[in-house]
Amino acid sequence: MAGMGPPPKEEKHGRTPNLGSATEPADLEGVPAPDLPNPKKWLTATRDWWWAWADSPQSVAFQATDWGRLVALLPLVDGYNRLMSKAADDPRKLRAGKDVLSEIRQNESLLGATHLDRLRGRMPTGGTGARPEAVAGGVDAENVVKLFGGP
């Protein structure tokens, strides 16, 4: 018969109560985005990547170390963009690009690149960042499909 048995235990285990869902950016003193170092040195796709991060809603809470991580990623992102622009049908370049992209993705994830990353970090998920077409400016969908074994 339903309803019979011991009463439920008090919630002493599991998720800590009253943590709140996100840290509000207004409560944090972020460091403004620095200028892109040596802008003429980078490909257009790399510059677009930088400005997508600089204009992102989560960047209002970035500290100097976060911006330092993005500056350190610039050569990797630019190298990836250069490699993919010449990779066409070379499997070795595509494999190398996959390794570089993996490193970029891991670092971006730590900064809250995707909606899921922001949820995990309890960061704000709303806001009006750059339009998707502006962010994806330098991505060649055909190379991405080849890179991950698509048709």
Handedness of CA 64, 68, 71, 77 (dihedral sign): negative
> Average of pLDDT values for 87-112?
88
Residue 130 lies in a domain: yes
Residue 143 lies in a domain: yes
Give the number of domains in the chain.
Answer: 1
pTM value?
A: 0.65
Residue 3 lies in a domain: no
Q: For 107-128, give one letter per residue: b (16+ CB within 10 A) or e.
A: bbeebbbeeebbeebebbbeee
At 115 the pLDDT is 86
Residue 26 lies in a domain: no
Residue 120 lies in a domain: yes
Residue 21 lies in a domain: no
Cα distance between residue 100 and residue 97, in whole Å: 5
- Residue-wise pLDDT tens digits, 24-40: 545 557 899 999 999 99
**pLDDT at 63 > cutoff 90:** yes
Tokens of 47: 């510059």
At 134 the pLDDT is 47
Residue 13 lies in a domain: no
Domain coverage including residue 86: 40-147
